[in-house]
Amino acid sequence: MPQISLLGCGLMGAPMARRLAAAGFPLTLWNRTRAKAEALADTGARVAATPRDAVAGASIVITMLEHGGVVSEVLFGGGCCATEHAALAGLAPGALVIDMSSILPEQAREHAQRLQAAGVTALDAPVSGGTLGAEAGTLAIMAGGNPADFERARPVLTAMGRPVHVGPTGSGQLAKLANQMIVGITIGAVAEALLLAERGGADPVKVREALRGGFAESRILEVHGQRMVQGDFAKRGSIAIQLKDMRNAQHTAQGMDFDMPITDELAALYASAAEHGLAELDQAALFKELQRRQKAV
C-alpha cells in the first residue's frame, strides 16, 4: 500500500484520517495544532513536527486545510510555515499531492503548476458530506486533474467516499463551488419555508415531516431541516465556511462574467448572519438569522 501523509487534522481531516487508517494505509499526520494530530495516535499513524517531515517518503500527500492561502503556505512556505519546513522541501519526485481543501479554482491551478515544475503531480479533490460523511466514509469527492493521476488516487479516495473525475485541474474546485451554491441556497429555502409555516400556525416539525419524500425532499431538508426544528446549531460545518465558499463562487463567477443573482442574495444573508454573531455555528443557523429578521419587522 502507498505511504500516505495527511496535512490537516481538523473537523474533516480527523475522521478522514481514521478512514484511511481503517483501510490499512500507512499514515503520517501533521497539523498546525499538534495536539489535534496526536489525538489520532490510536490509529497507529505517525505524527510529524513539520509538513516537510510529514511528507518524507510519502507517495501520496493529502491536504485538508482551511483555505487556499493556508494550502499555499503549507505546501510552499510563508505565513504559518517557514519555507525550509514546507511540504515542497520534502516531497519526492513523482509524489502525488491531492488537495481536498475547498479553495479557488485559480489557486488549484496555480498550486498544480508549481508542484509540476518540481516534478510532483497534483489533483484538486474537494469533498461534500460534512463531518457525518467523513466519519461514514461516504463523502462526495470531486476530482480535477489528469485522468491517470485520478486512477492512481482512486483506491485512496474510495476509502473516504465516492470519487468522480470531473475534468482538468481546477474542475474539482468548480464542482465544489457548484455544490456549495446549491447547499447554501437550499439551506436558505428550507429555513425560510419552515419559518413561514411556523408564522402561519403550522408545526414546523410536522411540516418538515410532511415534506419528506415529496419534490421538496433533499439532504438539506433531512439533515439541516432537522437541526433547525430542534434548535441544534452546534458546529459541524459553519456559517463562516459557507460564507467563504459563497464568496469564492462569486469571485470565480466575476472572472467568467457570469451573473449569479440567487447566490449573491444568499451570500449577503450569510454575511449578515456572521455579523450578528453566528459565524461559528452550523450553517443551519441561517435559520436564526432569518428568525431575527422576522422579529425585527
244 catalytic? Reply is no
What distance in Å separates the CA atoms of residue 193 and residue 108, rounded to the nearest whole number?
Answer: 36
Three-point CA angle 38, 44, 47, nearest 5°? 35
List the catalytic residue out of 176, 206, 235, 244.
Answer: 176
Phi first, then psi: give them for residue 63, nearest 5 degrees.
Answer: -110, 135
Inter-residue contact 161 to 137 (CB < 8 Å): yes
Inter-residue contact 175 to 166 (CB < 8 Å): yes
Q: What value does the CA radius of gyration of the chain take, rounded to a whole number of Å? A: 20
3-state secondary structure of 227: helix
What distance in Å separates the CA atoms of residue 114 and residue 74, rounded to the nearest whole number?
Answer: 13
The amino acid present at 126, given as its one-letter code, is: P
Catalytic residue numbers, as ranges:
176
